[in-house]
């Protein structure tokens, strides 16, 4: 079994080092070189309240987004709903469902969407609008499998179909996420490695009419926003009344400079939760914060979470999430 674990870890590291999407290319000069940017918007108010330092925590259903191996860090089946008031009147939605079976296996389904109200078309000669409208929207549907190989080590993989629509143009593709999760045996320290949005380049299909009456139907292809992450989590306080979870995460995107996130979550009697996080070397973001409550409702363990994230000059984003786990004791 140890050989299998070593092979998986070597595979994750080897892919991350060898594939051209992940090779460093002058940091910030990579900005704007990838497509499908909606895949970079984090899922869940709990994770974003902790500064998105979540791959080594990932013990709720949003692990479907952060680290598919995290589905082995809780025993219940359940569903998750998350709504985000994103920037410039965009709405981001995330749905996730997880089914545990066989003790050491889990299947998950996730749906991500980003959309905006219909916008009026404008041209150089009609800056006030042409009377025609268009819509912009993104969709991602993922199927996840996760398995616990030992008491300490789990892995997971997600295959995701993605689609982006802008007026008459559509962009489609398939990509996958790969995650590992390891309890180190040093106190309660956890270590995780993930690769997200790994796949071939995509380009729009369809045609558009220019302001001069011409037609464009050939477009350049761009890679998806592949992200390689390494994370550690540790609970310096863990008793019946108080629990403090701390996390640190190194992120290596293929379309921007490397950055570091830190985050923490304080829990009082597993009922009230306070969270905070900070991103270093991220030009457009810095701090985030959140609060949550966990209460039993009927046959479910229900969590309600809220978070804000500061995008500096662009303002704050707001997230509200509901996490429902089936109580196995009822």
Q: In total, how many domains does the chain have?
A: 1
Asked if residue 109 lies in contact with residue 130, where contact means CB atoms within 8 angstroms, the answer is no
| 274 occurs within a structural domain | yes
For the chain, the residue count is 330
pLDDT above 60 for 28: no
Q: Does residue 184 belong to any structural domain of this protein?
A: yes
**CA atoms of 48 and 317, how far apart (whole Å):** 10
Does residue 275 or residue 301 have the better pLDDT? 275
The pLDDT-based confidence of 34 (bands split at 50, 70, 90) is: confident
SS3 state at 30: helix
Q: Does residue 308 lie within any of the structural domains?
A: yes
* Confidence tier at 102 by pLDDT (50, 70, 90): confident
Tokens in use for 28? 């910030």
The DSSP code sequence of 183-211 is E-SSTT-EEEEEEEEE---B--BS-EE-T
Task: Tell me the CA distances in angstroms from 249 to 129, 237, 238, 258, one per residue in order.
Answer: 46, 20, 21, 11
The answer to the question of residue 125 being in a domain is: no
Q: CB of 160 within 8 A of CB of 142?
A: yes
In the numeric block, which tokens belong to residue 7? 């092979």
> Is residue 6 very low, low, confident or very high in pLDDT (cuts 50, 70, 90)?
very low
Q: Is residue 229 part of a domain?
A: yes
Domain that holds residue 313: 2-120+130-326
Average pLDDT over residues 259-283: 95
Tokens, residue 68? 């598919």
pLDDT in tens, 229-246: 999 999 999 999 999 999
pLDDT 10s digits, 302-312: 999 999 999 98
Q: Tell me: the pLDDT tens digits for 170-181?
A: 899 999 999 999
pLDDT of residue 23: 42
Mean per-residue pLDDT of the chain: 87
CA-closest candidate to residue 121, choices 160, 189, 168: 168
Q: pLDDT at residue 31 above 80?
A: no
Q: Is residue 302 part of a domain?
A: yes
How far is residue 36's CA from residue 66's CA, in Å, rounded to a whole number? 17
Residue 307 located in a structural domain: yes
Residue % of the chain over a pLDDT of 90: 64
Given a contact cutoff of 8 angstroms between Cβ atoms, the answer to whether 143 and 158 are in contact is yes
What CATH number is given to the structural domain containing 214? 2.40.160.60
Q: Is 46 domain-assigned?
A: yes
- Using DSSP's 3-state secondary structure scheme, residue 68 falls into helix
Higher pLDDT, 196 or 6: 196
């Amino acid at each position: 079994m140890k050989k299998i674990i070593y092979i998986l870890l070597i595979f994750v590291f080897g892919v991350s080092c060898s594939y051209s999407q992940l090779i460093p290319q002058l940091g910030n000069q990579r900005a704007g070189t990838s497509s499908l940017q909606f895949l970079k918007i984090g899922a869940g108010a709990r994770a974003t309240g902790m500064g998105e330092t979540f791959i080594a925590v990932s013990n709720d259903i949003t692990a479907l987004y952060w680290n598919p191996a995290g589905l082995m860090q809780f025993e219940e089946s359940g569903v998750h709903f998350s709504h985000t008031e994103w920037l410039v009147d965009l709405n981001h939605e995330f749905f996730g469902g997880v089914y545990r079976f066989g003790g050491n296996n889990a299947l998950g389904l996730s749906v991500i969407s980003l959309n905006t109200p219909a916008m009026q078309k404008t041209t150089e000669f009609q800056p006030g609008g042409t009377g025609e409208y268009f819509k912009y929207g993104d969709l991602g549907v993922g199927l996840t499998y996760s398995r616990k190989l030992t008491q300490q080590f789990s892995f997971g993989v997600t295959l995701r179909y993605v689609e982006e629509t802008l007026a008459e143009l559509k962009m489609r593709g398939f990509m996958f996420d790969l995650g590992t999760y390891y309890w180190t045996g040093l106190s309660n320290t956890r270590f995780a490695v993930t690769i997200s949005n790994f796949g071939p380049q995509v380009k729009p299909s369809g045609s558009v009419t220019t302001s001069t009456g011409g037609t464009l139907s050939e477009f350049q292809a761009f890679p998806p926003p592949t992200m390689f992450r390494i994370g550690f989590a540790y609970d310096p306080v863990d008793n019946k009344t108080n629990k403090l979870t701390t996390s640190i995460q190194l992120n290596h995107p293929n379309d921007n400079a490397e950055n570091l996130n830190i985050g923490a979550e304080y829990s009082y009697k597993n009922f009230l939760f306070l969270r905070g996080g900070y991103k270093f070397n991220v030009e457009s973001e810095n701090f985030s914060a959140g609060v949550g409550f966990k209460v039993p409702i009927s046959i479910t363990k229900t969590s309600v979470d809220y978070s804000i994230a500061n995008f500096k000059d662009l303002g704050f984003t707001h997230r509200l999430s509901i996490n429902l786990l089936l109580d196995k004791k009822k």
